Amino acid sequence: MNNSTSIASNIGTTTHQITGVHSDLLKREVKVDVFLPPGYSKESGPYRLILLNDGQDARAVNLEATLNALHADSLMNQYIVVGVHAGERLQEYGVSGKPDYRKRGNRARRYEEFIIDQLIPWLNHEYHIDVDGGKNVIAGWSLGGLSAISIAWNNPEVFGKVGGFSGAFWWRKRALDKGYTDKDRIMHSVIRKSRVRKGMKFWFQAGTEDETSDRNNNGIIDAIDDTLDLIAELITIGYKPYHDINYYEMPGGHHNCDTWSEALPVFLKWAIRS
């Protein structure tokens, strides 16, 4: 992987913006933002990694300001945060190897392979991150949240914690007007047919104003229903609520960066707990 790097330094956090990174897997150039803690030194590693999908939204979710606040309290000093800018989201994000009924997400497996086989080894070489024992974190919002869950589930040896902000857990293999049932939700089905990834922990956020749709007319919007149902699938196969799963429902929360910005410090404080 080749790169050209521009560096912007701010109080507390140093940001490296990596451009010109070509991925043969994705057949495009990938832009990556790397947020380093105060006093970073490659020799002081390994550092734990927090990887975020939709890295182009870093400014909109106030990521750097949030990191600076946490660094001021001496939190996260052993973490490097990396935001991966999205390409064609509707194709690269989704459930790995399982496109939805409209064939969206048909490059999700390639995106996962890029993260695991190309980006993480490169980050380790450049910044000395911890690549063993599932000590790293991955997260995202909306489709990026669905992608994060899928990638973590397939790679527990790399990611031990995963977060989904307003996750697109409606992702389904059948259209609503073509005989859809709740069993058609793809990520739910993957979990249902799987075994526990020992030690993995999950963080979910949903807002009460994420949307207005209510497929089953039970008075609960689909964004919350789909999230709670995914949590139920995890509990069914053996995960413990509160211990393994954290659910953060935001009254008045919307499906936008302003809401995710409010939730971000809550997620990051959860993510760095041992």
Please report the DSSP string for 28-54 in residue order. EEEEEEEEEPTT--GGG-PBEEEEES-
Euclidean distance between the first and the last CA atom of the chain, given in angstroms as a whole number: 32
User: What's the domain count of the chain?
Assistant: 1
At residue 60, what are phi and psi to the nearest 5 degrees? -65, -30
Helices marked H in the chain: 63-72, 89-92, 108-113, 120-127, 143-154, 186-192, 222-237, 257-271
pLDDT attached to residue 14 = 84
pLDDT attached to residue 274 = 65
pLDDT attached to residue 17 = 86
Q: Residue 248: beta bridge partners?
A: 205
**Which residues constitute the domain of residue 119?**
4-271
> pLDDT tens digits, the chain, 274 residues: what are they?
555 444 444 446 788 988 877 899 999 999 999 999 999 999 998 999 999 999 999 999 999 999 999 998 888 999 999 999 999 999 999 999 999 999 999 999 999 999 999 999 999 999 999 887 788 999 999 999 999 999 999 999 999 999 999 999 999 999 999 999 999 999 999 999 999 999 999 999 999 999 999 999 999 999 999 999 999 999 999 999 999 999 999 999 999 999 999 999 999 999 998 6
pLDDT attached to residue 6 = 42
**Any idea what the CATH number is for the domain that residue 29 is in?**
3.40.50.1820
